[in-house]
Structure 1
Amino acid sequence: MRNGSDYHEKLDDAETWIFDLDNTLYPATCNLFDQVDKKMGAFISAYLDVDLVEARVIQKRYFREHGTTLNGMMTHHGMDPAEFLAFVHDIDYSPVQRNEDLVHAIQRLPGRKVIFTNGTVAHAKSVLDRLGIHDEFEVFFDIVASDYVPKPNPAPYDKLLAAHDIDPKRAVMLEDIARNLEHPAALGMTTVWVRTDHDWSHDGTGEGDHIHHVTDDLAEWLSGYVRSRHG
């Protein structure tokens, strides 16, 4: 992990800020993923006609092996993703609350702002509406746009950059899962790890120097950055 002055200078040169969504733009303590997690288990149980215990084993194995449970279900069972995505994102978004510090920081952040998520555009917009920052983002690149290939596979990163003419050397990637920052760093992006207490958040932290900045609170970190830039 590095936080040297060269990486702070690269922040000032950034033209594009690429944000993961879940547990990054809102705190992991909102526990939206707990809702999604239960919905995935219920869907798998019904789809494969197995009990909930077996469904959870399958769900977690596919997440580890394929990057997302969705990708594993498509690969091994030929599942149509649309019904799955609609079902698992039919959740209560009320735990996500507007954060004025985050709103102010995002508004003052220079350059283009992009959402890059393994979820859907509809899910992202529901979250951003709750946060009060929906209108600040000009690009929504979701699991459908990535042809259902999830991060950390390099392919969706490369497709995002090509589709939206993003120079990786003048881009910042902010993400809660450390391993999802490996390819961005290799491409020349400046990376910000939004650390959480979840085990998967720390996956990949010990491999290489792909993490340039670390924070436990994105709103606080962004607020500090824009203050240092603008005074």
Structure 2
Amino acid sequence: MIQTPDLHHVDTWVFDLDETLYPADAAVMSQVIEKMTDWVQREFSMTREEAHALQQHYYTTHGTTLNGLLVNNQVRDLAAFLDFVHDVDHSVITPDPQLADHVAALDGRRIVYTNGSRKHAEKVIDRLGLNGLFEDLYDIEAADFTPKPHRAGFERFTGHFSITPQSTVMFEDSVKNLQTAHEIGFTTVLVHPPVEALADGATPEPLIHPDHIHYAVDCLRTFLGDWHVAADTAKKTTP
């Protein structure tokens, strides 16, 4: 796997949201998972253990818990579901001015592509201090509730923004989401946290990654900083 970033062909920068733009040790997704379990437990009158097992089954089988509920016709008010599960404490995210500087310095289009809701994305972006740095935030509703890693969702996303995959890089914390991104032609960067940074109960993905991962890094901020240094050096040495 190539370690030195070479992204000179890139004119579109696509970022996943959760545990990509902010570190995995920020307890956001653990709150969302708890809220999803709350919702399933309440709606289906299950025990906590049964609700968590169903939530995890839907996530593993269908890409997201919501997609599993939709496939099984088990959710009526989509907006209410998204509002409920994303009603979490965003103050656990630490503002990141260095990341903001690195993102602002990227040449080309910058887009957030998330399986979460737009309201949630806006709160995360605001908390990080990244307001005004992205062309758009593309959420699960914009994707007509077809989540990553499903190819139909990616095709809807690329079509919406008239993206050329061969000049696009995607930053993600999910190996399976990057599999689809690679299949349609994206350069792929896996943002993989150190195992000790994962939330309690989380299962780390393998540290040896398949060929569809072009770069594997443990810190987005550091990777982008290294990229800018490499790009600046290349400019200075080019006749």
TM-score, length-normalised on structure 2? 0.89
The equivalent of 1:118 in structure 2 is 115
1:94 partner SS: helix
Write the letter of the residue equivalent to 2:14: I
Residue 224 of structure 2: aligned partner: 222
Residue number among 4, 11, 15 corresponding to 1:19 in the alignment: 15
- Partner Cα separation in structure 1 for residue 35 and residue 162 of structure 2: 36
1:19: Cα distance to partner? 0.3
2: distance between equivalents of 1:191 and 1:30? 23
> What amino acid does structure 2 have at the position aligned with 1:51?
T
Q: What corresponds to 1:84 in structure 2? A: 81
In structure 2, give the amino acid aligned to 1:113.
R
Provide the C-alpha distance between the structure 1 equivalents of 2:101 and 2:92, rounded to a whole number of angstroms: 20
Equivalent residue, structure 2, for 1:138: 135
Structure-1 residue corresponding to 2:2: 3
Say if 1:3 and 1:212, in contact at 8 Å, map to a contact too.
Answer: yes
Please name the residue that 1:171 is paired with.
168
Alpha-carbon distance in 1 for matches of 2:206, 2:121: 23
> 1:169 and 1:33, CA in 2 relative to 1: closer, same or farther beyond 3 A?
same
SS in structure 2 opposite 1:61?
A: helix
Q: Distance in 1 between matches of 2:177 and 2:184?
A: 12
Shift of 1:204: 10
The 3 A distance-change label for structure 1 pair 212 and 112 is same
Q: Secondary structure at the match of 1:202?
A: coil
Q: Which amino acid aligns with 2:143?
A: S
Q: Which string of whole-angstrom CA distances, capped at 9 and with x for unpartnered residues, describes residues 192-226 of structure 1?
A: 000023556626965x4110011101101111111
After superposing on structure 2, the runs of 4+ consecutive aligned residues of structure 1 that deviate more than 6 Å are none
Deviation at 1:101, TM superposition (A): 1.6
Q: For each residue in 1:82-121, what CA deviation from the matched residue of structure 2 results, as whole angstroms up to 9, or x when unmatched?
A: 2111001011000111112201100111110000000011
Q: Which amino acid aligns with 2:205?
A: H
Is 2:44 the counterpart of 1:48? yes
Picking from 85, 101, 104, the partner of 2:101 is 104
Distance 1:56 1:148, change over 3 A: same
RMSD between aligned residues: 1.7
Q: Alpha-carbon deviation of 1:64?
A: 0.6
- CA distance in 1 between counterparts of 2:225 and 2:110 reads 16
- Select the structure that is richer in helix: 1
Aligned to 2:54: 58
Q: 1:205 to 1:177 in 2, by over 3 A?
A: farther
Q: Percent identity?
A: 35
Question: Are 1:41 and 1:59, in contact at CA under 8 Å, matched by a contact in 2?
Answer: yes
Which string of whole-angstrom CA distances, capped at 9 and with x for unpartnered residues, describes residues 147-195 of structure 1? 1111111111111111111100000000001111112112221110000
The AA in structure 1 aligned to 2:149 is P
Instruction: Give, as a single letter, the amino acid of the residue that structure 2 aligns with 1:87.
Output: F
How many pairs does the alignment contain? Answer: 226
Give the Cα separation in 2 of the matches to 1:148 and 1:171: 23
Distance 1:183 1:219, change over 3 A: same
2:57 counterpart SS class: helix
Structure 2 unaligned runs (5+)? 234-239
Say which of 29, 38, 46 aligns to 1:33: 29
Shift of 1:129: 0.3
Structure 2 residue aligned with 1:161: 158
Which amino acid is 1:121 matched to? R
1:202 aligns with 2:202: no
Paired residues of 1:178 and 1:203 also in contact (CA < 8 A): no
